[in-house]
Each structure stands twice: as structure tokens, then as C-alpha cells.
């Protein structure tokens, strides 16, 4: 079991930002990545639809022999992590917008959160905001259309900047000092975002925290590997183009 892979899924290529963080701190672990890009984006789907898609991705990864599942998608986590934990025995790591570190770090008392509609409307997001940020102002924005552009391989340029400016202008006006990237696709735009916001706004994403939590769970469950040559496998159910691009054509993508 210890040499089994870690399973990671997302609605597309966003979860690759998480996979990279996991690879950095767990270099011996084999990884299986599943991009559910035929169903992308998850952000505009109902809770029920997101739960059903998350269950199917989990079943696939368990079938492939995974020992732990990383839900590398804020939308899937905030809408389905408790369902997944009650349906399956395998350990799960989820990702949700990093409200806590932003709330602890803010000096202006205002933080911005960029996420999908599905994440922002979820019960988990609302309860985390209530628990950690009840005394500060959260300015949240659903960056409509951004995930679709990223899935098409657009990371900068006019279209991306237009959506970002629309999403960020109100936050900047309100003097946020922390910007939380609450979708695993958005760190792929970090350079462009940095150019559009004042230098003193700190950008926060949860990649490293998720990787650290994955390591903690492996240790806790005595599931760490001693493999010297880990294997990386990639699956998608739509076009393999965006996954190939983000991975610089270095891996074989299995289309299912
Ligand atoms: N990467 C997913 C997330 O973190 C994208 C959501 C979507 O498919 O809309 O929420």
C-alpha cells in the first residue's frame, strides 16, 4: 500500500499547481492526476452535480490503486468533501480558500477572495468565513469566465486582463491588503495578477499548505513510500491539449 500512488483530481489543469507543490515536498511519491476537463468548469454547476462528479473521480482513482486522494479543486472540496469522507474510507485532503492566513495577516481589515460561484456559495466557505473572519471585511468576487480561458491555454493578454480588471477593481478600491486565490487555476495567472494590483497587496494561495497536509496525513496513516523512482500518470476525459501544454509535453496523457 505504501508504494501506491497519491490520487489528485480537478476539473482541469488547475490542480497541476497542487501537484507541483506535492512533488516538491514528497519527491518519492508516485502521483496519478485526473483532469475532468470534459465537465469543466465545475464552478457553475449545482452542489449535487459537483458531488456526483467528485464521487466518480474518486472511484476512478481508487480503482487505480491510490492510497490517498487530494481534491485539488476548491469548488469540488467546498461542495463535496464531507460527502466523499462519508462515502469512502480512504483519507482525503481538500483545498478551500485560505481565509484564515489572510484574516490573521490583514492590517486594513479587508481581504479579497477570488473564487468560483460554486465555492463562494458553498456552506463550507460561509462557515469558514464566519469562523475566521467575522471581524474583518471580505470582498469576494466570482471571476466569471477565467477557468474557461485558462483551460483554452490563455494565461495572459487582453481577454484575461479584462476579466481580472473587472474582478479586482472593486477590491483594490476597497483597500484590501491580501488577495486570496480561491481556485487552483488562478495561481497560473499569478504574474498577470501581480501586474494589475498594487505591490503592497499580498497574494495568497493554498498550494503549499495542501502539500504539507498531504504529507502530514501520509505520516499519520503510516503511508509514506520508500520508492526511489516514483511514477507520474496523467488522465483526462476531454482534449489533452491544455494538460500537454502545462506539462511541457513531458508526459504521456491517457485520454479516457
Ligand atoms: N480548479 C477549480 C477550483 O479550484 C476550478 C473550478 C471550476 O472548474 O470552475 O475551484
Q: What is the mean pLDDT of residues 78-98?
A: 98
Cis peptide before 149 (omega within 30 of 0): no
Q: Are 113 and 171 in the same domain? A: yes
Looking at the structure of the chain, the number of domains it has is: 2
Domain identity same for 215 and 184? no
Which residue's alpha carbon is at the smallest distance from atom 9 of ligand 1? 43
End-to-end CA distance of the chain: 25
Determine the average pLDDT of the residues in 53-67.
98
Pocket (CB within 6 angstroms of ligand 1): 10-11, 14, 40-43, 73-75, 116, 119, 147, 183-185
Instruction: Specify whether 183 is catalytic.
Output: yes
Residue 1 pLDDT greater than 80, yes or no:
no
Q: What is the mean pLDDT of residues 32-61?
A: 98
- pLDDT one-digit tens code per residue, 210-222: 999 999 999 999 9
Where does a domain end: 178, 204, 230?
Answer: 204
Q: Contact 215/28 with Cβ under 8 angstroms?
A: no
pLDDT of residue 152: 95
Work out which ligand 1 atom sits closest to the CA atom of 15. 1
- The enclosing domain of 225 has a CATH number of 3.40.50.1860
16 inside domain: yes
Same domain, 34 and 78: yes
Q: Which residues pair with 253 in a beta bridge?
A: 234
Pocket mutation for ligand 1, best pick of 50, 72, 75 (most atoms within 8 Å of C-beta): 75
Torsion angles phi and psi, residue 76, rounded to 5: -70, -40
- Residue 226, pLDDT above cutoff 90: no
The pLDDT value recorded for residue 198 is 97
Among 187, 204, 221, where does a domain finish?
204
Please compute Rg for the chain using Cα positions.
18
Asked whether the predicted pLDDT for residue 169 surpasses 80, the reply is yes
Domain with 31 in it: 6-95+207-255
pLDDT of residue 188: 97
Query: Which one is predicted more confidently, 253 or 227?
Result: 253
CA–centroid distance, residue 116 to ligand 1 (Å)? 7
Q: If DSSP codes are grouped into helix, strand and coil, which group holds residue 209? A: helix
The model carries a pTM of: 0.97
In this prediction, residues 172-192 reach a mean pLDDT of 97
Q: Residue 227 has what pLDDT?
A: 85
Percentage, residues of the chain above pLDDT 70:
100
Answer yes or no: are the C-beta atoms of 159 and 87 closer than 8 Å: no
Select which of 66, 126, 183, 236 is catalytic.
Answer: 183
Amino acid at each position: 500500500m505504501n508504494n501506491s500512488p497519491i490520487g489528485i483530481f480537478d476539473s482541469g489543469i488547475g490542480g497541476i499547481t497542487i501537484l507541483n507543490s506535492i512533488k516538491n515536498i514528497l519527491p518519492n511519491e508516485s502521483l496519478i492526476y485526473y483532469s475532468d476537463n470534459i465537465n469543466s468548469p465545475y464552478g457553475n454547476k449545482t452542489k449535487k452535480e459537483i458531488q456526483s462528479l467528485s464521487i466518480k473521480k474518486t472511484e476512478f482513482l481508487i480503482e487505480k490503486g491510490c492510497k490517498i486522494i487530494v481534491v485539488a479543486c476548491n469548488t469540488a472540496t467546498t461542495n463535496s468533501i464531507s460527502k466523499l469522507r462519508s462515502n469512502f474510507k480512504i483519507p482525503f485532503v481538500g483545498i478551500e480558500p485560505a481565509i484564515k492566513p489572510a484574516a490573521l495577516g490583514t492590517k486594513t481589515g479587508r481581504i479579497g477572495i477570488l473564487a468560483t460561484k460554486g465555492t463562494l456559495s458553498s456552506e463550507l466557505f460561509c462557515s469558514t468565513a464566519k469562523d475566521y473572519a467575522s471581524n474583518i471585511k471580505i470582498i469576494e468576487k466570482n471571476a466569471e469566465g477565467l477557468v474557461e480561458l485558462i483551460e483554452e491555454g490563455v494565461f495572459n493578454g487582453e481577454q484575461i486582463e479584462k476579466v481580472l480588471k473587472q474582478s479586482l477593481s472593486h477590491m483594490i478600491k476597497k483597500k484590501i491588503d491580501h488577495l486570496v486565490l480561491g481556485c487552483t487555476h488562478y495561481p497560473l495567472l499569478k504574474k498577470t495578477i501581480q501586474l494589475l494590483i498594487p505591490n503592497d497587496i499580498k497574494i495568497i494561495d493554498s498550494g503549499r499548505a495542501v502539500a504539507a497536509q498531504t504529507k502530514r496525513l501520509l505520516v499519520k496513516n503510516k503511508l509514506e513510500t520508500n520508492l526511489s523512482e516514483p511514477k507520474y500518470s496523467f488522465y483526462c476525459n476531454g482534449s489533452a491539449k491544455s494538460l500537454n501544454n502545462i506539462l511541457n509535453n513531458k508526459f504521456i496523457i491517457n485520454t479516457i
